[in-house]
Structure 1
Amino acid sequence: MDGTWTRDETRLPAQLRGLRLPLVGSPMFIISGPDLVIAQCKAGIVGSFPALNAREGAGEAPLLDAWLTRIREELDRHNQANPDSPAAPYAVNQIVHRSNTRLERDIDICVKHEVPIWITSLGARVEVNEAAHSCGGITLHDVINNTFAKKAIEKGADGLIAVAAGAGGHAGMQSPLALVQEIRSWFDGPLLLSGAIASGASLLAARAMGADFGYAGSPFIATEEANAEAAYKQMIVDSTAEDIVYSSLFTGVHGNYLKGSIRNAGMDPDNLPGSDPSAMDFGNRDKKPKAWKSIWGAGQGVGAIDDVVPAARLIQRIGDEYRQAGRRLAAEFGG
């Protein structure tokens, strides 16, 4: 990336300082694995994956342990070979919902590997934050409103991910303008913003609103390293914001999905029934209807995604756009 960006990072935890771009790659079900995380980190942004993506067969050693070993060793080799451009740290997402029967085991594995950044979802739990802190890590909890944000900090989270309207996967309904403003009225810690961030201009907007980092997932589906079907990647490239539908049917929690994938599953995306949180079950996802296995999540920022590229090239593009947008605004203010 040409050019540099500077800011006062003294109020941020060490794990979030010195990134080459103020961006975190969000953890995506099935999509995010070691290949994508390693590529993101080497390119200078935080890469992440859900612990539940690492699924081993019956009687096999925990795949999560093997994934974390590979990620740590590959990033260590990169840092030794590139001392002037070290990799960013990685993050692991823990689904803390009561149906996640693997949670305790996965926490122990993450503590063993001293995972630097923990992302928690679907419930704030004191014991998970304490586990992260016990190995020197920090926790970032995703929230869809100010009430949940306050509860997360009260229970020991170090930072917040504001999941606003337009975010891929499970998403809130509030405008990012309102959500960030309300959280920033009382919270000065690390704040990430999720919701249609797929370009450098949208990343700059997130920073202007008061977020420390953008949080992006959908753009990385259309990368070579993503664990996604070719048809999924192409649908991301071909879609715009009008092709996104907001529904609770598929998991019990409202989220954003590609209309084309819903049609391909034999359903009318404009006339979907609702569901409720009691339908959530992270202990056995194989119980979901077979037709839903090809329901693909995506955020409203997909219109900015024009082709399938290596993750490093995507990050380069967002970084270039981020600096260009910053220079345009600086010129308006005489900077």
Structure 2
Amino acid sequence: MSLPPILSRLRLPVIGSPMFIVSGPDLVIAQCKAGIVGSFPALNAREKDGEPIQLDAWLTRITEELDRHNQANPDNPAAPFAVNQIVHRSNARLERDLEICVRHKVPLWITSLGARPEVNEAAHSVGGVVFHDIINNTFARKAIEKGADGLIAVAAGAGGHAGMQSPFALLQEIRGWFDGPVALSGAIATGRAILAARAAGADLAYIGSPFIATEEANAQPEYKQMICDSGAEDIVYSSLFTGVHGNYLKQSIRNSGLDPDQLEHADASSMNFGQGSSKPKAWSSIWGAGQGIGAISEVRPARAFIDQLGEEYAAARSALA
């Protein structure tokens, strides 16, 4: 197994996953400067009619700030950043956003909810590397057949749209035929868990929910505090809110007047990214999170959390050696 050159010099083998609303330039820049890949969903960058295109502005800011950091710190360059594209038929912005990402020569592309060759071709046209997120081996094969360079195995316990398979089962099936780059998602919140992901067959850990409780995250203070106050038992797995199963904070569901133990089901036909997200406004106060948040107890800068991950990772490697 070998990583693309762009990922071979990370401080830690970690991608900060793109999170709806939460991930923006502040968080991405902090993650990259601290030595891990930062990412955001293209659909997070929104503008009103007649206003300048926000995605273009975000990419300009991220690129320029990371360039300045690299010039000032030639021995400690920033990690690359990634943009997440929702490749779903209802995403009316996809073609426009692809053109913007090509123009900015985005180095890493993360695709979700559909594998399309033309998206991979757009990334490859500017030297970009594409990771496609999947929840089972069947989808993994389709993604590689359609031109993705790597995979993100979204296993049980991951925040947002998550699968149900054990990371051990999912990774061993993928590694039975694929020796390219693989990132693992699912309840990873410590340096020990990063090392465990690598031992299980992943090249990279894909970490999202712990970054909600960082100063740079675009999340309400109540959301951040609920991350700190909750654990794995406080996560509910439901399809109601988007049409695809995902993990959500139980207390946020209660606060919205719903019974988390008596939720209805929805199917994928209800997904609609025409307005930037499949989440209806009625669910704006229902917050996603993965099962790994029991390791998070305080809100702090992203760098402080990444520093802790680095210390834990080094200690775990030393203990096993």
TM-score > 0.5, shorter chain as reference: yes
Look up the match of 1:212.
Answer: 203
Tell me, what secondary structure is at the counterpart of 2:111? strand
The one-letter code of the counterpart of 2:246 is: G
Structure 1 unmatched runs, 5+: 1-8, 331-335
Q: Does 1:99 align with 2:90?
A: yes
Conserved? CA contact 2:43–2:276, under 8 Å: no
Residues 83-94 of structure 1: pairs in structure 2 closer than 5 A: 83-94=74-85
Q: Does 1:67 align with 2:58?
A: yes
Moved more, 289-298 or 18-27: 289-298
Q: Does 1:306 align with 2:312?
A: no
Structure 1 segments of 4+ aligned residues over 6 angstroms from their partners: none
Cα distance in 2, alignment partners of residues 12 and 315 from structure 1: 21
Look up the match of 2:173.
Answer: 182
Q: Does 1:162 align with 2:153?
A: yes
Conserved? CA contact 2:91–2:276, under 8 Å: no
Look up the match of 1:267.
Answer: 258
Q: Does 1:222 align with 2:213?
A: yes
Cα distance in 1, alignment partners of residues 255 and 102 from structure 2: 41
The one-letter code of the counterpart of 1:80 is: Q
Look up the match of 1:191.
Answer: 182
- Do the aligned partners of residues 286 and 178 (structure 1) sit closer, same or farther apart at CA in structure 2, a change above 3 Å counting? closer
CA drift at 1:146 = 0.2
Tell me, what secondary structure is at the counterpart of 2:40? strand
| Match for residue 130 of structure 1 among 111, 121, 139 | 121
Look up the match of 1:202.
Answer: 193
Look up the match of 1:276.
Answer: 267
Cα distance in 1, alignment partners of residues 52 and 224 from structure 2: 31
Look up the match of 2:140.
Answer: 149
Deviations 1:241-300 (A, max 9, x none): 000000000000000000010000000001100000001001125885543111100000
The one-letter code of the counterpart of 1:98 is: R
Aligned-pair Cα RMSD in Å: 1.0
Residues 224-239 of structure 1: pairs in structure 2 closer than 5 A: 224-239=215-230
Residues 22-33 of structure 1: pairs in structure 2 closer than 5 A: 22-33=13-24
CA drift at 1:122 = 0.1
Q: What percentage of aligned pairs have identical amino acids?
A: 75
State the TM-score, normalized to the length of structure 2: 0.99
Look up the match of 1:38.
Answer: 29
| Match for residue 253 of structure 1 among 244, 248, 256 | 244
- Do the aligned partners of residues 289 and 228 (structure 1) sit closer, same or farther apart at CA in structure 2, a change above 3 Å counting? same
Cα distance in 2, alignment partners of residues 111 and 230 from structure 1: 35
Residues 290-301 of structure 1: pairs in structure 2 closer than 5 A: 290-301=281-292
Structure 2 unmatched runs, 5+: none
Tell me, what secondary structure is at the counterpart of 1:294? coil
The one-letter code of the counterpart of 1:96 is: V
